[in-house]
Each structure stands twice: as C-alpha cells, then as structure tokens.
Amino acid sequence: MDRYRRQKLFTPLGDGGQRRLQTGKALVVGCGALGGTIANLLVRAGIGSVGLMDHDIVEVVNLHRQLLFNERDLGRRKVDAARDILLAADSRADIETFPYRFDESTAPLLSRFDLLIDGTDNFPTRFLMNRTAIRYGKPFITAGVRGSSGQIFTVFPGQTPCLACLIPPTDEGHGGEFPILSPIVQVIAAIEVSEAIKILSGNENAVNRSLLVVDLWTNKISSLEFVRNENCSVCGGSL
Ligand SMILES: [Zn+2]
C-alpha cells in the first residue's frame, strides 16, 4: 500500500512533489504547541528528515494545547516524547532530536537543513532564527499565537522582507504566561506546514508573501502587505 497515495492525488504535488518532499530536511525550533503539531504533520506528510529542537520537559499545563503529549509523558523531554510518538506513526521516519535552546551556539545546525520553521513562543528566539535564516540563506516560516489570534509570515532570504523588516527586533521576552485558546495553535501550525510542503516540494510560487493574521474569536482573517526596510539591521545589506 502506498502511504502517500491520497496526498499524491493532489495535483500540484503528484508523484514528483512527493519524491521531493521525501528528500527535504526541515528544522523545527520549539516542540510544544505549535512545534509538536508542525512535527506531527511534517512526519506524516513524508518529509525526508525532521529536526526537533527544544530544551523543555512536558508539564501538565502544556496538555490543553500540545497535542503530541499525554499524561504518561509528564516529566520527559519534549523532543524525546515527540520522537517516540512520531516513530509510532511512521517507524521509517528520520527524526533528529536536539534537546537544546536555539541560541548562538546551536543556530549553526541550520546549515544541515533546507528550511527553518518557527514553533517557539518568544520574540528573542524568533529574531535569532530570523538572523540565522538570513545568514545561511534558508527559507524561514515564522509564526506566533496569543489568545485567539495568530500570525504567520515566510521569509525568503534575498527575496522578501525579513521578520526584522516587519517588527523592530527585541531581546525582551513575552513577560510571563500569556493566554492561549488552543484551536488557534492548530490552525497556525497547519498553515506553517502547508507553506513548508509548498517549499520542499518545489512549489515556492504558491507560498503566501504577505503577513497572514487569523483571529478565531472575532472571525477575521486578514492579509497585510509589507515591503523590505532598506535600512533593516538584519537583511538590509543582503538583498
Ligand atoms: Zn529585514
């Protein structure tokens, strides 16, 4: 039986797109709410190699939105629990785990992957991911959720604005716990994976080039156009 038969029936992918997916390598930073769902969808779609980076352990307060984990995973490293669950879904999957923070010392791991995907919950990490993606010339799918709303944007180094063109970089965190309505996490993670599938299957032209904002409580979806900041401290000199 062909595991990917229904996916290959989707014409823009087809046999060729699926073959390309199966050679693609994606690094997911953050293996919680966004990252766990991203990893789950990537592995089940047949992405050739998936790297998971997260230093955290599973806590009970995670379980309302982090759908990869169950009570039996409490106290385990998130990347270890995720790997077990994903290998149960596909025993042939290539899943590499990095139980670290994404920081200046671990960022160069990106050089081994084709694509960087944001599953984090804070801006300092996100801005470091943005700088790293620009440095290595790798596409970067960035997203964030808060309350009932989420945003997603894809950076193509040398082609599009970067995250720092949209928002001034900050080293400050989010200042503690913030509210999350769990369904928005799944919506935004699913959109991130759709964009990843487009890129890794050779369909980059289908990727949304604007900032997409979704709010599940006010029922609004908007698309905001941005232009590159020519004085951007991150990508200004690289385009
Ligand atoms: Zn920029």
CA of 212 to the centre of ligand 1 (A): 18
Q: What is the pLDDT along the chain (239 residues), one digit of tens a residue?
A: 699 999 999 999 999 999 999 999 999 999 999 999 999 999 999 999 999 999 999 999 999 999 999 999 999 999 999 999 999 999 999 999 999 999 999 999 999 999 999 999 999 999 999 999 999 999 999 999 999 999 999 999 999 999 999 998 877 766 678 999 999 999 999 999 999 999 999 999 999 999 999 999 999 999 999 999 999 999 986 54
Note the pLDDT of residue 168.
83
Note the pLDDT of residue 169.
80
Evaluate whether 145 touches 196 at the Cβ level (below 8 Å): no
Cα angle for residues 152, 153, 156 (degrees, 5° grid): 155
CA of 127 to the centre of ligand 1 (A): 10
CA of 239 to the centre of ligand 1 (A): 9
CA of 163 to the centre of ligand 1 (A): 6
CA of 49 to the centre of ligand 1 (A): 28
Contacts 24+ apart (CB under 8 A), 73-79: 78/31, 78/32, 78/36, 78/54, 79/31, 79/52, 79/53, 79/54
CA of 118 to the centre of ligand 1 (A): 17
The pTM score is 0.96
CA of 232 to the centre of ligand 1 (A): 5
CA of 165 to the centre of ligand 1 (A): 4
Note the pLDDT of residue 180.
95
Note the pLDDT of residue 175.
60
Residues 6 or more apart in contact with residue 17 via CB below 8 angstroms: 8, 201, 202, 203
